[in-house]
């Protein structure tokens, strides 16, 4: 017997720092706190903090239809104890985490899941779970098919399925999701899966590709993205005394993934552009020098608070945007983490992961970033002239000599 649930968007509830706003034709979803990056090999529950929940719970076999628009990577769909990632960049695992037996490992079959979405456009997503098959279609194209998912062979499948599965959605900070329609269809008996007209994408991995050049990476970008990156490159490379050095690396070429690094070693700050296909996302922050044993790990002087204060004298809103864009600590390593950093700006405090600022690949965010580095460059120049530079190494934990 078939049972169709047309979800009332007004009944979707927000949890943690997730926010919702109901419009006439869509439910807008965003969050004010970072979610754990999918690159960490964690189970779905580790990400399940700032999300929106669909009403009710559902049993396999079922079909989930969603019509939505996402304007910035990425999105996670929670189903039971697992999750499916959408629109994540190369550095995050394009993972399908099993809904009954999450393992924290990449996909069991087909390796890479092509989870790309046309950002800024309305798209239909269809996900089907049966007792023996699973399928994901995006805009009518089959992106994933499996008859080997762990839940299919789980001994406790019947018990867990009878308890029914909850469904939720999370988006990254800076992302905006607009849900237009959600329909869940439950089937009383297992159903056959229609696959005519679809073709599974299996991307090949080419480990021996030559190292790309900066010009190679620029060439693959769309014209607007290419112009933005070229402008940022020229400004960053011209800064003195920061003296950025540029390098490029191939991270996951089969997903169109590359990285352009800018490192100002004397100051201990880096900036990176993560390239995914024809788009990019920038980030920057004071890095940790991890050569050697943990007790020798250190940073150089962290001028985040001073630079934001200087920037606020000219444009307080620009400084506030950058402070908000700090990548929030999500507690993935607990008390033993050496990367979390507490920053204060005005009356606000933010506990940040690696002290990194995560931005969008748009002109406004690039201008914010370049304004920050222009201000930082002037600050470092003034400190150098006044002989006011701090010690070369700021240790992150007490070493054998008792120094921190």
Which of 138, 169, 187 lies at the terminal end of a domain, its last residue? 187
152 in the same domain as 228: no
379 vs 209: which has the higher pLDDT: 379
- 280 shares a domain with 137: no
pLDDT band for position 235 (cuts 50, 70, 90): very high
Average pLDDT estimate for 54-70: 97
Residue 45 lies in a domain: yes
Read off the pLDDT band of 147 (50, 70, 90): confident
pTM: 0.88
Confidence (pLDDT) at 184: 97
Per-residue pLDDT tens for 300-357?
Answer: 889 999 999 999 999 999 999 999 999 998 877 777 788 889 999 999 999 998 889 9
Residue 123 lies in a domain: yes
Domain annotation covers residue 330: yes
In terms of domains, do 174 and 226 share one? no
Phi, psi of 193, deg, nearest 5 = -105, 125
d(CA 360, CA 347) in angstroms, rounded, equals 25
Cα–Cα distance measured from residue 254 to residue 236, given in angstroms and rounded to the nearest whole number: 29
Same domain for 167 and 233, yes or no, is no
> In this predicted model, which residue has the larger pLDDT, 275 or 315?
315
CATH classification at residue 55:
2.60.120.200
Q: Which residue has the higher pLDDT, 244 or 393?
A: 244
Q: Has residue 207 been placed in a domain? A: no
Alpha-helical regions (H) of 239-327: 304-314, 316-324
| Predicted pLDDT of residue 377 | 97
Question: Is residue 78 domain-shared with residue 169, that is, in the same domain?
Answer: yes
CB 276 within 8 A of CB 268: no
> What percent of the chain shows pLDDT beyond 90?
59
Kindly state whether residue 402 falls inside one of the protein's structural domains: no
On whether residue 29 sits in a domain, the answer given is yes
Residues 24-50 have a mean pLDDT of 74
Whether residue 2 has pLDDT greater than 50? yes
Q: How confident is the model at residue 115 (pLDDT cuts 50, 70, 90)?
A: confident
- Judged against a pLDDT cut of 80, whether residue 122 lies above it is answered with yes
User: How many CB atoms are located within 10 Å of the residue 382 CB?
Assistant: 11
Predicted confidence (pLDDT) at residue 44 exceeds the cutoff of 50: no
Would 379 be classed as within a structural domain? Answer: yes
Angle at 93 between CA 90 and CA 96, to 5 degrees: 135
Mean per-residue pLDDT, 202-210? 56
Higher local confidence (pLDDT), 38 or 29: 29
Average of per-residue pLDDT across 155-182: 94
Interatomic CA distance for residues 153 and 232, integer angstroms: 51
**Same domain (yes/no): 177, 246:** no
Which of 119-128, 248-257, 319-328 is least confident? Answer: 248-257
Does residue 181 share a domain with residue 236?
Answer: no
Of 51-65, 188-202, 203-217, the one with minimum mean pLDDT is 188-202
Q: Say whether pLDDT at 113 is over 90.
A: no
Q: Is the pLDDT of residue 106 over 70?
A: no
**Strand segments (E) across 172-300:** 177-187, 245-252, 257-264, 269-276, 279-286, 298-299
Q: Are residues 150 and 234 in the same domain?
A: no
Which of 132, 152, 187 marks a domain boundary?
187
Given a contact cutoff of 8 angstroms between Cβ atoms, the answer to whether 340 and 353 are in contact is: yes
pLDDT of 299: 86
What pairs with residue 123 in β-bridges? 68
**What is the predicted pLDDT for the residue at 24?**
86
Kindly state whether residues 174 and 237 are assigned to the same domain.
Answer: no
Instruction: Provide the pLDDT confidence category of residue 191 given band limits of 50, 70 and 90.
Output: confident
Q: What Å distances lie between residue 140 and 90, 125, 137, CA to CA?
A: 23, 8, 6
Is the separation of the CB atoms in 136 and 126 below 8 Å? yes
The pLDDT of 236-242, averaged and rounded, is 97
Q: What is the mean pLDDT of residues 369-398?
A: 87
Band (pLDDT 50/70/90 cuts) for residue 207 is low
Which is higher by pLDDT, 387 or 273?
A: 273
For the chain, the domain total comes to 2
Average of per-residue pLDDT across 34-46? 57
Q: Residue 313: phi, psi to the nearest 5?
A: -65, -30
Q: 127 and 248: one domain? A: no
Mean pLDDT on 224-253:
93
Q: Do both 329 and 256 map to the same domain? A: yes
Average pLDDT of every residue of the chain: 87
Pair 337, 307: CB distance under 8 Å: no
When mean pLDDT is compared across 52-61, 261-270, 279-288, 391-400, the lowest value belongs to 391-400
Q: Could you report the per-residue pLDDT of 126-144, keeping only the tens digit for each?
A: 999 999 999 999 999 888 8
Cβ atoms of 106 and 93 closer than 8 Å: yes
- Residue-range definition of the domain harbouring residue 338: 214-395
> How confident is the model at residue 183, as a pLDDT?
98
Q: How far apart, in Å, are the Cα atoms of 238 and each of 234, 260, 263, 372, 377?
A: 6, 16, 13, 14, 10
Q: pLDDT (tens digit, 9 = 90+) per residue, 210-230?
A: 788 999 999 989 999 999 999
Alpha-carbon dihedral 214, 217, 218, 221, rounded to 10 degrees: -170
pLDDT of residue 214: 95
Peptide bond into 74 cis (omega under 30): yes
Statement to judge: residues 159 and 291 lie in one domain: no
Q: Which has more confidence, 98 or 67?
A: 67
Look at residue 308 and tell me if it is in a domain: yes
Interior/surface letters 192-215, b for 16+ CB within 10 angstroms, e for the rest:
ebeeeeeeeeebeeeeeeeebeee
């Amino acid at each position: 017997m078939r049972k169709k649930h047309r979800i009332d968007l007004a009944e979707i509830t927000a949890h943690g720092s997730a926010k919702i706003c109901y419009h006439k034709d869509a439910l807008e979803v965003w969050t004010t706190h970072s979610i754990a990056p999918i690159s960490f090999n964690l189970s779905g529950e580790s990400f399940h903090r700032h999300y929106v929940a669909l009403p009710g719970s559902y049993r396999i076999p079922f079909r989930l239809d969603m019509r939505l628009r996402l304007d910035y990577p990425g999105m996670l769909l929670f189903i039971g104890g697992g999750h499916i990632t959408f629109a994540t960049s190369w550095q995050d695992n394009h993972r399908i985490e099993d809904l009954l037996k999450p393992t924290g490992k990449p996909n069991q079959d087909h390796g890479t899941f092509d989870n790309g979405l046309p950002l800024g456009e309305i798209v239909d997503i269809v996900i089907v779970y049966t007792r023996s098959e699973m399928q994901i279609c995006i805009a009518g194209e089959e992106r994933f098919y499996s008859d080997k998912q762990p839940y299919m062979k789980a001994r406790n499948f019947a018990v867990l399925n009878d308890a029914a599965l909850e469904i939720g959605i999370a988006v990254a900070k800076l992302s905006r999701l607009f849900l237009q329609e959600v329909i869940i269809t439950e089937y009383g008996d297992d159903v056959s899966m229609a696959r005519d007209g679809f073709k599974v994408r299996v991307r090949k991995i080419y480990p021996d590709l030559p190292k790309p050049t900066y010009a190679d990476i620029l060439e693959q970008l769309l014209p607007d993205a290419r112009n933005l990156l070229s402008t940022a490159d020229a400004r960053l490379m011209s800064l003195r005394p920061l003296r950025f050095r540029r390098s490029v690396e191939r991270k996951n070429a089969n997903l169109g993934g590359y990285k352009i690094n800018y490192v100002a070693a004397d100051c201990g700050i880096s900036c990176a552009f993560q390239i995914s296909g024809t788009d990019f996302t920038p980030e920057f922050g004071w890095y940790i020098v991890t050569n050697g044993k943990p007790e020798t790990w250190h940073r150089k002087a962290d001028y985040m608070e001073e630079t934001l204060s200087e920037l606020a004298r000219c444009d307080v809103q620009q400084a506030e945007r950058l402070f908000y864009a700090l990548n929030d600590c999500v507690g993935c390593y607990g008390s033993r983490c050496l990367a979390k950093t507490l920053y204060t700006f005005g009356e606000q405090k933010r506990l940040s992961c690696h002290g990194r600022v995560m931005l969008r690949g748009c002109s406004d965010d690039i201008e914010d970033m370049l304004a920050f580095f222009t201000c930082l460059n002037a600050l470092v120049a003034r400190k150098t002239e006044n002989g006011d530079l701090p010690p070369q190494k700021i240790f992150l934990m007490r070493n054998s000599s008792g120094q921190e």
